[in-house]
Structure 1
Amino acid sequence: MVVLVRDEALPIELGIVQQLFGSARAAGDGRPLYEVVTCALRPGEVTTDGDFRLAIRNGPEALATADTAVVLSSHADYDRPGGALPPELAAALARIPTGARIASICTGAFVLAAVGLLDGHRATTHWRFTDRFRRLFPRVVLDPDVLFTHSLGGGREVLTSAGCAAGIDLCLHLLREDGAAVTNEVARAAVVPPYREGGQAQFVRRPVPEVLSRSTTAARAWALEHLAEPVSVAQLAACESLSVRAFSRRFREETGTSPLRWLIGQRVARAQHLLEETDLPVEAVAERSGFGTAVALRQQMRAAVGVSPSAYRATFRGPRSAASGGGSGSPAEAADGSPAGLPSS
């Protein structure tokens, strides 16, 4: 992995990448799973938005060795007239191998868009600069509400993230994509959730009318206490003495998502915890997380994290726990979510 740092950099972004990938180590022998190399457009000092500089030893030639290239943001990204890249930066990006995936953090998406990697594809950037991004790059399908995106752009995998802290979500996503079983441990060590609910819509500064001065905190707390039970939006609205319509509007303004999507996300998170920390059969995990049936749990797990419950358990607890997690008297579940010995659809 090669990380490109430029003048007017945000040091927190470099720290995020170095910390998360640098702390990913094999469970058995503790060897590093990633080699993280930092480079600049020229070796030497790089300015930051603080009162210090970064000493970068490698020049842009390091990008030619990347299997993953990460373009960090710079305060200069959104100030360039027309969004055009300086020749030196464009030449550096051209060094990245065609088979490598490219990720950007925050306004680094302006750089990827300027070289056409995002044309026709979904991308995001910091919410403060979405209007400017749309004007400069109308061919990009900008989604201002999500924390990160992952698409195939220009013949390669391209990922973008929202504000700098959303770089954490992007890095953890890359770890999961690589099948790193240590993703949860990396997240725990950094004291961040492996999956973060909602999008950046919840962080956008907007005037809050007086009628919205109350929050939906009580409803969310009640829902978490009753996840194993059927929960309706009407019940949640009743917790706040609101109509369903008013509650749903307030809920979205506070969390950036709908009540039902939030509820599903919380149930998936509960299921993940149970799959990681217990030997409960998949059917019991489904009941305790509120999905009711193993079939419903499999569907929601696949939609949320892309794998079946047993595959998730095997990834985060190892094959021994997966073998014991099928439940007494229940057929073992194959990696694709179908019962072992039966064809999958």
Structure 2
Amino acid sequence: MDELTKVTHIDNVKLSEDKRSVVILDQTQLPNRTVYLTLGSAEDIYDAIFELKVRGAPAIGICAAYGIYCLAAAAKTDDFEKFYMQFKKDKEYLDSSRPTAVNLSWALNRMEGVVLANKEKPVSEIISLLKTEACEIQAEDIRMCRAISEYGLSLIKDGDGILTHCNAGPLATSRYGTALGPLFLGKERGMEFKVFADETRPLLQGARLTSYELAKGGLDVTLICDNMASLVMKNGWVQACFVGCDRIAANGDAANKIGTSGVAILAKYYGIPFYVLGPTSTIDMDCATGEDIRIELRDENEIKEKFYSEPMALKEVKCYNPAFDVTDHSLIAGIVTEYGICRAPFNESFQEIFRKKRENRL
């Protein structure tokens, strides 16, 4: 197995051998240590999602699906009402771990749908169906990533410079990734790209994860500080921007890691197309605009202390630490999904994409 295959087919979320726990690659330990964690309790799963040990919208959804199955499998009752009461409690608890990534609630709601659709069956059979559904969610993600990679690759050509922000590669999904998927797929086909990866402060997912994946996969990657993106664009080194997403509103506004909106504004100024790549499960048609997306606020010490040997600001200095921002739809050249590329007006193109989804399952 070559290095590229190792990277694009990494097992970052899976069931344990006994099918009673979730095993994840702890992304907080990368790039210096490869550590796998076994998550057996609701608290373990919650903390893994909240503390970003598992991250990336699709990977969070997969982890949640496997997690709620494992919790259901530990049920001590054959009574459906008691079983469902505990299921709801666990589901709501896990759903509260990260409010912005829609894949979390999407996956948990889908798992709940299995329970409700089979409530007349024995609890043991419902648990078996939950396992099947969780496995299918991951299988769909693998097919989705490949399809997104194909569509995304059609937007760039051999030799292009691509700028990305945060991490939307194999670590954030199951295979290939979303924003990085076209680059890995192109590499498999003999194409070469020059990738500029924003470090993505304050948690440095671009530095720790994106540059790690690309370097391990043999792609030409240059790590830059977030505030260097403008100069790189001005130099003419970037022909397209590819980013992932955690939630997309019905009008095309897209929430992604903090700093993404600034990249889109710069790209607009320099005439560089800015693309958002993500599965249709991240499109929230019940969310009218980006103003309706709840933005997660995180601990201020992630700015002042994390990754430093000593604090970089005085204790009394206040910090504002939103995990995400929202890129206005007017700045987005296209939204790449597993069913095609959506363009403005996005509320109309989304309808066409969902029609294709209803008619053609991947």
TM-score using structure 1 length? 0.25
TM-score using structure 2 length? 0.24
Structure (1 or 2) with the larger CA radius of gyration:
1
